[in-house]
Chain A
Amino acid sequence: MKFYLKLGLILLAFCIVATALLAYVNSITKPKIAAIKIKEAELAREELIPNSAFEEVTVKTGKDSIVYYVARDKATKELKGYTFTAAKIGYSSNVKTMAAMDKDFRILGIKVVEQAETPGLGANCTDSTFTKKFRGLTPDQLMVDKDGGKIQSMTGATITTRAVTNSLREQIALVKKDVEAKLAALPAQEVTP
Chain B
Amino acid sequence: MKDKYTVSPAPHLHDRTSIPNVMWNVVIALLPALAFAVYYWGWRSLWLTLIGVVAAVATEALIQYLRKVPVTVYDGSAVLTGMLLTYNISADSPWWLPIMGSVFAIAIGKQAFGGLGNNPVNPALLGRAFLLASWPSLMTGNCWIRTLPHKLSESSINGISNLSLIHANLQGVSAKAYDLVTSATPLKVAQTLRDSSFVNTITTDPATNLDISGKMFKSLFDMGTLRSLFWGNVGGCIGEVSVFALLLGAIYLLWKNIIEWRIPLFYIGTVFVLTFLFGGIEGAGPSILLPFFHIFSGGLMLGAFFMATDYTTSPLTKNGRIVFAIGCGVLTVVIRLVGGYPEGVSYSILFMNVMTPLIDKLTMPKAFGRVKK
Q: Do chains A and B touch in the complex (CB under 8 A)?
A: yes
The answer to whether B197 and A147 have CB atoms under 8 Å apart is yes
| Chain B CB within 10 Å, residue with most, of A91, A147, A162 | A147
Interface pairs (7), CB distance under 8 Å: A118-B136, A143-B201, A145-B176, A147-B197, A148-B174, A156-B136, A156-B140
Chain B residues with CB under 8 Å of A156's CB are 136-137, 140-141
Complex interface residues of chain A between 99 and 150 (CB less than 8 A to chain B): 118, 121, 143, 145-149
Contact of A147 among B141, B201, B340 (CB under 8 A): B201
- The answer to the question of B39 belonging to the interface, with a C-beta cut-off of 8 Å to chain A, is no
Considering the complex, give the chain B residue whose CB is closest to the CB of A166: B197
The answer to whether A121 and B177 have CB atoms under 8 Å apart is no
The answer to whether A148 and B141 have CB atoms under 8 Å apart is no
Q: How far is the CA of A145 from the CA of B176 in the complex (A)?
A: 9
- The answer to the question of A192 belonging to the interface, with a C-beta cut-off of 8 Å to chain B, is no
Chain A residues at the B interface, C-beta cutoff of 8 Å: 91, 118, 121, 143, 145-149, 155-156, 159, 162
The answer to whether B180 and A146 have CB atoms under 8 Å apart is yes
- The answer to the question of B198 belonging to the interface, with a C-beta cut-off of 8 Å to chain A, is yes
Question: Given contacts A146-B180, A148-B177, A156-B141, is CB(A121)–CB(B197) below 8 Å?
Answer: no
Chain A residues with CB under 8 Å of B200's CB are 147
Range, interface on chain B = 10 to 19
Chain B residues with CB under 8 Å of A148's CB are 174, 176-177, 201-202
The answer to whether A121 and B136 have CB atoms under 8 Å apart is yes
Chain B residues at the A interface, C-beta cutoff of 8 Å: 136-137, 140-141, 174, 176-177, 180, 197-198, 200-202, 340
Chain B residues with CB under 8 Å of A159's CB are 340
- Count contacts between A and B, CB distance < 8 Å: 27
Q: How far is the CA of A159 from the CA of B174 in the complex (A)?
A: 21
The 8 A-B pairs of least Cβ separation, nearest first, read: A148-B201, A156-B137, A147-B201, A155-B137, A156-B136, A147-B197, A156-B140, A121-B136
Chain A residues with CB under 8 Å of B340's CB are 91, 159
Chain A residues with CB under 8 Å of B174's CB are 148
The answer to whether B141 and A155 have CB atoms under 8 Å apart is yes
Chain A residues with CB under 8 Å of B197's CB are 147, 162
Chain B residues with CB under 8 Å of A149's CB are 201
Considering the complex, give the chain B residue whose CB is closest to the CB of A145: B176
Considering the complex, give the chain A residue whose CB is closest to the CB of B197: A147
Considering the complex, give the chain A residue whose CB is closest to the CB of B174: A148
Contact of B198 among A121, A146, A155 (CB under 8 A): A146
Q: How far is the CA of A146 from the CA of B178 in the complex (A)?
A: 11
Contact of B137 among A121, A143, A145, A146 (CB under 8 A): A121
Considering the complex, give the chain B residue whose CB is closest to the CB of A154: B137
Chain A residues with CB under 8 Å of B137's CB are 121, 155-156
Q: How far is the CA of A118 from the CA of B140 in the complex (A)?
A: 15
Q: How far is the CA of A82 from the CA of B137 in the complex (A)?
A: 36
A122 vs chain B, min Cβ distance (A): 10
Chain B residues with CB under 8 Å of A162's CB are 197
Beyond A118-B136, A121-B136, A146-B180, 16 extra complex contacts between A and B, CB < 8 Å: A143-B201, A146-B176, A146-B198, A147-B198, A147-B200, A148-B174, A148-B176, A148-B177, A148-B201, A149-B201, A155-B137, A155-B141, A156-B136, A156-B140, A159-B340, A162-B197
